[in-house]
Amino acid sequence: MHIDMFRIFCDLADMRSFSKTAEKHLLSQSAVSQQLAQLELAHKCQLINRKKRPIELTKQGRLFYQASKDMMDRYGQLKTELAALEKSSVSRINVAAIFSIGMHTLPDYIKRFMVVNPNVNVHVEYFSAGTIYELILAGRVDIGLVAVPKRDKRLDVYEFEDEPLVLVCSPKHPLSRESLVDIHRLQFERFIAFEKDVPTRAWIDGILERYSTVVRPVMEFDNIETVKRAVEINSGISILPRTAIGQEVGAGTIKAVGFSNENFVRPTGIIVRKGKMLSQAGRYLIELLRKKPELEP
């Protein structure tokens, strides 16, 4: 039954008048009487004693009235909860990013986004790439940002930034004096690598293999920050995105050297679960992330 029928019945019971109830709901008295008759027919009982003046509820009517009030109260609570949930989902976007992207690349995009959407909370958390894929597929995160994105029929994958890759070493290392370096100079050098399950590890291994260059991994870590710390103390050299080493280069604790062979890059991507219902603000953020950083939103 339509919720309005219960609302009209409750008002009729409270006002004890067909005419006042009809006036409140902008209906004719006949329409109110017909709706009451439909309720009584549906439940096979008399709900109101029409012979009394003013009208009175029957025993069944009192039971039906209390149940109707309970349903109306619950329905009102439901509408309030749904409105709050909708407001919450619209005003908050959950983003999961690998640490290097979240710390060094994403902030400029968030600043641009907030200029247009100052009331939207972009909540960013840092996870490993494997965890980000799991969170996206489980629907617990709206947007993911990963390096070397993998294709999956359950995901929409968009290109983000191609990050320039450079040789990084301690200022004490002999290669730090070079302006450009041939990748073959890395042959048999002590190398600080990513762990084997990190997508960037496979990408860099592919570059080295393409140039038939063999390095000596002496340490393996699952994140860029720890790799940088090992490079700073001259434990070995590494290959990292230029975007992630700006602070160390500025402080003089790490030297960044470009390659003479070609401009190596690490691709990054935006991942969203297929069919994910995003708010207008969420869709705008994705469009902003897909633009070049020099473009205004």
Comparing C-alpha atoms, which of 279, 295, 293, 287 is closest to residue 120? 279
- What is the pLDDT at residue 95? 97
CA distance 193 to 195: 6
| pLDDT attached to residue 82 | 73
Q: Give the pLDDT of residue 294.
A: 45
Q: Does residue 236 come out as left (phi exceeding 0), alpha (psi in the -120 to 50 range) or beta?
A: left
Using a CB cutoff of 8 Å and minimum separation of 24, what contacts does 48-54 make? Answer: 48/12, 48/13, 54/16, 54/17
219, 159 contact by CB (below 8 A): no
Q: Where does CATH 1.10.10.10 sit in the chain?
A: 3-89
CATH number 3.40.50.620 given to 163-266: no
pLDDT at 164: 97
The confidence score (pLDDT) of residue 258 equals 97
pLDDT of residue 297: 38
Neighbour count for residue 131 (Cβ, 10 Å) = 15
| Residue whose entry in the numeric block shows the structure tokens 């008002």 | 11
Strand segments, DSSP code E, in 98-221 are 121-126, 143-147, 155-169, 180-181, 190-194, 216-221
**pLDDT for residue 87:** 59
Residues of the chain with CATH 3.40.190.290: 163-266
- List every span in the chain annotated with CATH 3.40.190.10: 92-160+268-289
Q: CATH fold of 3-89, please?
A: Arc Repressor Mutant, subunit A (1.10.10)
Q: Report the pLDDT value the prediction gives residue 51, as an integer from 0 to 100.
A: 86
Closest alpha carbon to 230 in 181, 191, 187 = 191
Angle, vertex CA 290, rays to CA 286 and CA 292, nearest 5: 140
- At residue 142, the pLDDT reads 94
Give the helix ranges, DSSP H, for 180-294: 199-210, 224-232, 246-251, 280-289
Structure tokens at 238: 């590494």
Splitting the chain (297 residues) into consecutive groups of 10 residues, what average pLDDT does each group show? 85 93 91 91 92 90 93 84 62 93 95 92 94 94 96 95 97 97 98 96 97 97 95 98 96 98 97 89 94 50
According to the model, what pLDDT value does residue 89 have?
Answer: 53
**CATH topology classification for 92-160+268-289:** D-Maltodextrin-Binding Protein; domain 2 (3.40.190)
CB atoms within 10 A of CB 200: 25
β-bridge partners, 164: 265
Per-residue pLDDT at 296: 41
